[in-house]
Amino acid sequence: MWMRSSPPFSTPVTRHRSRLAALLDRDGTIIVDRDYTNNPDDVRLLPGAAAAIRRLASAGYPAIVITNQSGIARGKVSLEQYRLVRQRLDELLRAEGAELLDTFTCPHHPEITGPCACRKPDVALYERAASTHELDLARCFFAGDKARDITPGLSFGADTVLVQSSNTKPVDLECAEGSGVAIVASLTEAVERFLGGAP
Catalytic residues: 25, 27
Q: Are 138 and 152 in contact (CB under 8 A)?
A: no
CA distance 67 to 149: 9
Interface with Mg ion, residue 189, by CB under 5 A = no
The distance of closest approach from Cβ of residue 122 to Zn ion in the complex, given in angstroms and rounded to an integer, is 8
Residue 75 CB neighbour total at 10 angstroms: 9
Which of Zn ion, Mg ion, none does 183 bind, CB closer than 5 to 8 A by kind?
A: none
The distance of closest approach from Cβ of residue 121 to Zn ion in the complex, given in angstroms and rounded to an integer, is 12
Apex CA 31: angle with CA 126 and CA 115, to 5°? Answer: 40
The distance of closest approach from Cβ of residue 113 to Zn ion in the complex, given in angstroms and rounded to an integer, is 8
Nearer to Zn ion, 72 or 100 (CB): 72
- Residue of 171, 179, 143 whose CA lies nearest to 159: 143
Contacting Mg ion (CB under 5 A), which of 145, 159, 172, 189? 145
Residue nearest to Mg ion (CB): 28
CA distance 156 to 170: 24
Cis peptide before 170 (omega within 30 of 0): no
Nearer to Mg ion, 28 or 107 (CB): 28
- The one-letter code for the residue type at 100 is L
| Residues in 25-44 at the binding interface with Mg ion, rule: CB under 5 A | 25, 27-28
First to last CA, the chain: 68
Which of Mg ion, Zn ion, none does 106 bind, CB closer than 5 to 8 A by kind?
A: Zn ion
Which of Zn ion, Mg ion, none does 55 bind, CB closer than 5 to 8 A by kind?
A: none
**Measured between alpha carbons, how far is residue 179 from residues 33, 68, 132, 154, 166 in Å?**
25, 22, 29, 8, 21
The distance of closest approach from Cβ of residue 65 to Mg ion in the complex, given in angstroms and rounded to an integer, is 10
Give me the residues that bind Zn ion (CB under 5 A), please: 106, 108, 116, 118-119
Residues engaged in binding Mg ion (CB under 5 A): 25, 27-28, 145
